[in-house]
Structure 1
């Protein structure tokens, strides 16, 4: 069974343990999913537009963190063996200083499950384009998780942080999780057009 830990949002610190609940709900999407049916999804409240291969489910909640409540949303769709998802965390102006540590925690919990670090993980340089056509450098990471059963899991993931209009911050995690009986070469597999489209057409403000 897919677990919220594999999505990198089951965080080790007690204040963050509930974070993965949102993604757990995404895993419960109907198993009978349509073939790729690309559509642009506008999420103005979260400050981005994205190209999904099907109609995503949207989940909203408050993330308890350091005695504060931080808004988090998840849009995700399951297409056969893949879960395409965009997670967005919003930090207000008064909370913006929390962004580096929160991002580090999100990254480390996911990377640790693949037994890699930001420095050792297989990655490629990439560019994302904002809604006003600005192109900004980023990195995509290709992860292969240790098998705990009959299924193998791998992921392509990208993290983006942006200044919000209220001088707060957005933390985005864009990812595709693949679960199947056979292990794949993550970099080669996720470089296919069906996955590249999803990452290339994510546009934050």
Structure 2
């Protein structure tokens, strides 16, 4: 009986050690040829496509996202065909995406901090962008914090893809979104996004 108890204890201990050593984040490189990017996700993302109306036109939006505990890692892309592309339209869509988040944060009593940043394209050229660190105040819950960047890329055929790369963290115990979302597990996601 003692041997059986010791064996059970050892098996339970071994199981707990294996579970404790298993990584929470299972990083994997995902290629999205249709959306023309390569990204490092902390798990296998789900994919959703839909048509979104902007003005009197509709555009295809693709969202790839994965939820890990309190975090949602996502990349959204809006495909603007060459025949519909003009500078005003691209700026209008970008402004609409930005104001959806930034205005909501301000309306909640939250805050927005912007900071210069860089990303690399698939040829490893460094290109300037801006990171936004957003705090959404929740009335009955802990705060949500978000890091987001918007990137516009045109291909050889003059089609334009507008990307929104973001991480949303719920149940935050801090209003310092920048410090929290600059940690390695979040920085990897932003640093390893390579649009074509």
1:68 counterpart = 2:51:
no
Deviations 1:60-80 (A, max 9, x none): 112223333211100000000
Contact 1:89 1:172 in 2 (8 A): yes
Q: Which moved more, 1:73-82 or 1:97-106?
A: 97-106
Q: Post-superposition shift, 1:181? A: 5.7
1:166 counterpart = 2:157:
yes
Larger C-alpha radius of gyration, 1 or 2?
2
Q: Post-superposition shift, 1:184? A: 4.2
Return the alpha-carbon distance in structure 2 between the equivalents of residues 165 and 176 of structure 1.
30
Unaligned stretches of 5+ residues in structure 2: 1-22
**Off by >4 Å, runs of 4+ in structure 1:** none
Return the alpha-carbon distance in structure 2 between the equivalents of residues 183 and 143 of structure 1.
12
What's the TM-score once normalised by structure 2's chain length? 0.81
Q: Post-superposition shift, 1:126? A: 1.2
The aligned residue for residue 78 of structure 1 is 67
Return the alpha-carbon distance in structure 1 between the equivalents of residues 49 and 131 of structure 2.
25
Which residue, out of 61, 69, 87, partners 2:76?
87
The aligned residue for residue 128 of structure 1 is 119
Q: How does 1:1-40 map to 2 (within 5 A)?
A: 35-40=24-29
Unaligned stretches of 5+ residues in structure 1: 1-33
Q: Post-superposition shift, 1:123? A: 2.1
What's the TM-score once normalised by structure 1's chain length? 0.78
Per residue, is there more helix in 1 or in 2? Answer: 2
Count of residue correspondences:
169
1:180 counterpart = 2:177:
no
Contact 2:146 2:177 in 1 (8 A): yes
CA RMSD of aligned residues (A): 1.7
Q: Post-superposition shift, 1:180? A: 0.7
